[in-house]
Structure 1
Amino acid sequence: MIEPDVIRQIRELTARGWGSKRIAAELGVARNTVRRYLRGGAAAEAQVRPARRCLDEDGRAEAKQLFTGLAEGNAVVVAGELVSRGITVSPRTVQRVVADLRRGQRAADVASVRFETDPGYQMQIDFGQKQVRIAGTFVRVHLLVAVLSHSRRLFVKAFLSERQDDWREGIAEAFRHFGGVPRTVLGDNARSLVLGRERETGTVTFHPAYLAFCRDWDVTPRACGPYRARTKGKTESGVKYVKRNGLAGREFESFAALEAHLVRWMAEADQRIHGTTHEVPLVRFERDERHALRPLPSRPLPVREQRLRRRVANDALVDVDTVRYSVPHRLVRDTVDVVVGEREVRIYRGTELVARHERSFEPHARVTDPRHFDGLWRRPAAPTLPEAPLSALEAMGRSLSDYAAAIGEVVS
């Protein structure tokens, strides 16, 4: 848009014989703008910029009330409601009116109050993922991180998956690492832990297996609110700390080497000065929290009894979290049940136990039993030795043993 005076000058200069390029340079407008107004002739009149529409005080108050109420923070809905009430206004105008409200709402969402717990009261848990180079290959490693909320002592365990059994195994290992059980465990709403939540009452339905595990260890499960991950901010920070400091860009020769590194790194992390408490986590734990933890159960139930259904591949192997275990080759293309325990893997066809292996933690490893492949390959025939030439006596039908038997002597 240009002002009417500029249009008048364009026409006057054109009447004097000036070209569009010279006019544009003289008036400081685009050459195409000059051409457009010249093509329009008398019909090309100055465009009038519409005045910015504003709401009066009553309209502003009504817009703010709708924004915080019926519209639930949506300026477009507010504009539509005002138009239906006879107030002509654009969504952009509403956005300017409610800008302060929206800014305050965002600040309230981000702001949080740090919640400190008593010693031994709470442990926070979470899973994180990171691509780690193991034996020259990048592997997605799942890291369970547990943090004691009072002392900030940290525990981390690496897995190749993130299933229910991995959660339970990792939490039990954390209890053993800390030497006791807190009163509550705060996690997120992962499907492995939480089946659902009532929106109105906030009641959480935990997975039966997870609930049975918590009863066995005498700990109360808790789940943070939906989209409120900062409720368990201590372990959220712990996951970042493990990935950025504990692992960073390090490479490992094997999964066992990764686990050994994490054990050493946890000891180092316990000796650092924590940024919030300004104390060493291990010192704070020994002074305040160790005696507040409940004792470990004397005979806990198995925390891992994962049952998977797999189809046997053509090479007589079944895959469990990138690790392949052998079965008898007669079961190729059959469906089997794989029971993964804490230290052992058992494979069943129906009720028949067909294979038993020690559980491997190395990604892409092959665990085989040579007996499972018996009959699959032909064994090479034993080499036949050439017959020894006959002696002169044997050629006559006699041997030295015949003469020795006759005279009762032993030929040496």
Structure 2
Amino acid sequence: MVEQEVVRRIRVLAEAGWGHKRIAGEVGVARNTVRRYLRAGSAADKQVRPKARRLGEEEQQRAVELWNGAAEGNAVVVKALLEQEGVEASVRTVQRAVEERRRQVHVAQVATVRFETKPGQQMQVDFGEKKVRLGGQVVKVFLLVAVLSFSRRLFVRAFLNQRGDDWREGVAAAFVHFGGVPWEVLGDNARPLVDEHDRQAGTVRFHPAWVEFCKDWDVTPKACGPYRARTKGKTESGVKYVKRNALAGRDFESFGAMEAHLVKWMAEADARVHGTTHERPLDRFEREEKAALRPLPARSLPRRQQRLKRKVANDALVDVDTVRYSVPHRLVRESVEVQVGEAEVRIFHAGKLVATHARGKEPHGRVVDPAHWEGLWRARAVEPVEDGSKLAVHGRSLEDYAAVVEQDAKRGAA
């Protein structure tokens, strides 16, 4: 609203011959406002804005109905659909009409009811990643974090990737660390675990390898709903805790040094007072959860089964997660299969085992069997010669070449 005094000044300045732009700058209003008041004359002492368009009660209900249904929560689409029904309204008017419903939906999405499980019932698992300086180099490290839902005991293992084999190896290592097996394992919808999650039907189709692993360990696989990471909030918090507490601001001489640090840190984490339970996880575990876990299998069960296809480089090495392993040099440029076990790496060519190595974990490291390079050309050491011939720098003397020529001559005469 423009005050009467401002309107009066606009008219006085106009009568004095001022232009619209100059008047607008003088009185602090828009140029179009000056034009409007000068056109309207004395009848327009005040600017009256049109009232905001409001939908009737039935129209509001229809807007909410469309927002919940065909418009899929989009106010712009609601506006268009209302126009098709003969109802004119701005997007802002529609937003006001559905505002309460939008707020209810948002609250339902973010609100979380803490779900507590019985001792030994559930273990939550998740992967996180963090860049860590190892031996002076920045390396991306993948961290599998497992948390017992009741006691909040925590386990973490570092990997150089997060394939299905890494998930299975990490989960099995967590069982061994806790000394028992829970009834179920809750993970997210990562591809190594879940092939398909139908949100509407509420069904999950797990990856076959993950299903077989869970059968071997007699645990039930569970998956949180898509985009509902809070379902496994305990391990989500655990991943953040590992990143911000265990590894934040720390450099390590090697991958092995980082692993040793994490082992020590896990013991410290189990001995802290947890912010939710107000108990030490280790005390809560020893008192109630340890006895509720089922015993570990009597025999070792397979954990890694994937074979990775690789092409042998010109230096007779194959790369797996930045670690390079040697193969016989005759296989250069050939395709091979690499099976990474817990302790060793086996390499196959045409179904035949051609190389076996201890598993390397140091990023950008090399694991080499010298026998794989036997027969390759090597520059021999240059021995000093008495003459000053230029051929000496190549490790040969004139006498060497003379002997070769003499042998060739004898063969020709024969």
Answer yes or no: same fold by TM over 0.5: yes
Runs of 4+ in 1 over 6 A off after TM superposition: 1-8, 19-22, 41-44, 381-384
Task: Give the gaps of 5 or more residues in structure 2.
Answer: 385-414
Q: Deviations over 1:157-189 (max 9, x none)?
A: 000000000000000000000000000000111
Distance in 2 (CA, whole Å) between partners of 1:206 and 1:241 is 28
* Whole-angstrom CA distance in 2 between matches of 1:76 and 1:282: 54
Which residue of structure 2 lines up, in the alignment, with residue 320 of structure 1?
320
Change (3 A) 1:270 1:23: same
In structure 1, the partner of 2:399 is none
In the TM superposition, what is the alpha-carbon distance from 1:250 to its structure 2 partner?
Answer: 0.5
Tell me the TM-score normalized by structure 1.
0.85
Aligned 8 A contact 1:305 1:342 in 2: no
1:373 aligns with 2:344: no
Amino acid at match of 2:183: R
Match of 2:192 in 1: 192
Q: How far 1:92 sits from its partner (Å)? A: 1.1
Aligned residue in 2 for 1:270: 270
- The equivalent residue for 2:163 is 163
Instruction: Return closer, same or farther for 1:243/1:61 CA change in 2, 3 Å cut-off.
Output: same
Are 2:358 and 1:361 equivalent residues in the alignment? no
Distance 1:80 1:380, change over 3 A: closer
Distance across 2 between alignment mates of 1:263 and 1:93: 59
Give the fraction of aligned pairs with identical amino acids, expressed as a percent. 65
Which stretch has the larger CA shift, 257-266 or 207-216? Answer: 207-216
- Tell me whether 1:81 sits opposite 2:113 in the alignment: no
Asked if the contact 1:7–1:37 (Cα under 8 Å) also holds between the matched residues in 2, the reply is no
Structure 2 match to 1:52 = 52
Give CA deviations for 1:18-41 in whole Å, capped at 9, x if unaligned. 4668644653336x669x949xx9
Deviations 1:92-126 (A, max 9, x none): 10101221221222112111111000000000000
Deviates more, 1:197-206 or 1:248-257: 197-206
The 1-side partners of 2:324 and 2:224 are apart by 37
Cα shift readout 1:128-185 (whole Å, capped 9, x = no counterpart): 0000000011100000000000000000000000000000000000000000000000
Structure 2: distance between partners of 1:73 and 1:33: 37
CA contact (8 A) 1:344 1:357 kept: yes
Matched, 1:299 2:295: no
Structure 1 counterpart of 2:233, one-letter code: G
Correspondences of 1:374-393 after superposition (within 5 Å): 374-378=374-378, 380=380
Are residues 19 and 267 of structure 1, via their aligned partners in 2, closer, same or farther at CA, if it must alter by over 3 Å?
same
- Matched to 1:52, the amino acid is A
Q: Which residue in the other structure is 1:338 paired with?
A: 338
Q: CA separation of 1:68/1:351 partners in 2, compared to 1, >3 Å: closer, same or farther?
A: closer
Structure 2: distance between partners of 1:68 and 1:213: 41
Q: Amino acid of the residue matched to residue 93 of structure 2?
A: T
Once residues 379 and 52 of structure 1 are traced to their aligned partners in structure 2, the CA distance between those partners, rounded to angstroms, is 89
- What is the count of residue pairs matched by the alignment? 383
Structure 2 equivalent of residue 223 of structure 1: 223
**CA RMSD, 1 decimal:** 2.9
Q: CA deviation at 1:51?
A: 3.5
Cross-structure match for 2:253: 253
* Alignment gaps of 5+ in structure 1: 385-412
Q: Distance in 2 between matches of 1:84 and 1:61?
A: 16
The superposition leaves residues 64-108 of structure 1 with CA deviations (integer Å, 9 ceiling, x where unpaired) of 233234433222222222222222111210101221221222112
Q: Distance in 1 between matches of 2:94 and 2:382?
A: 93
Letter paired with 2:273:
I
- Whole-Å separation in 1 of the counterparts to 2:190 and 2:160: 17
> Distance between the aligned counterparts of 1:54 and 1:2, measured in 2?
25
Displacement of 1:273 after TM fit? 0.5
C-alpha displacement at 1:224, in angstroms?
0.9
- Point out the structure with max Rg over C-alpha: 1
Alignment partners' CA distance in 1, 2:383 and 2:370:
23
> Partners of 1:275 and 1:42 in 2: how far apart?
70
1: CA distance, partners of 2:237 / 2:158 = 17
SS at match of 2:303: coil
Taking a change above 3 Å as real, the CA distance of residues 95 and 210 of structure 1, as seen in their structure-2 partners, is same
Deviates more, 1:47-56 or 1:6-15: 6-15
Q: Is the 8 A contact 2:20 2:35 kept in 1?
A: no
